[in-house]
């Protein structure tokens, strides 16, 4: 998740449990993933939950969804 999204949505960041480096977000740079954020989601009024997202500085402002 983009750090800009976290700031705009005023979400709380926490230290990442297992920091790691990735190199495909910014061309030519390796970025350390040091923080995570719990993003609230809901489907109607019936289902609510949180998604744990890694927070990094990105050139674009996106939430990248994938599976581990």
Q: What is the structure's pLDDT at 59? A: 66
Per the DSSP assignment, residues forming a β-bridge with 16 are none
Residue 62 has pLDDT above 60, yes or no: no
Report yes or no on 67 lying in a domain: no
Q: Per the domain annotation, does 64 fall within a domain?
A: no
Q: How far apart are CA 26 and CA 13, in angstroms?
A: 21
Give the domain extent around 14: 3-55
Q: Is 5 helix (H, G, I), strand (E, B) or coil?
A: helix
DSSP 28-55: T--EEEEEEEEEEEEETTTEEEEEEEEE
In a domain? residue 8: yes
Structurally, the chain folds into a number of domains equal to 1
- 65 found inside a domain: no
Let me know if residue 68 belongs to a domain.
Answer: no
d(Cα 44, Cα 64) in Å, to the nearest integer?
Answer: 22
pLDDT of residue 56: 84
63 in a structural domain? no
> Does residue 24 lie within any of the structural domains?
yes
| Residue 23 banded pLDDT, cuts 50, 70, 90 | confident
């Amino acid at each position: 998740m983009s750090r800009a999204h976290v700031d705009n949505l005023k979400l709380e960041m926490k230290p990442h449990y297992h920091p790691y480096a990735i190199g495909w977000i910014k061309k030519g740079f390796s970025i350390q993933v040091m923080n995570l954020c719990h993003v609230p989601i809901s489907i109607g009024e019936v289902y609510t939950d949180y998604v744990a997202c890694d927070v990094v500085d990105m050139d674009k402002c996106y939430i990248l969804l994938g599976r581990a």
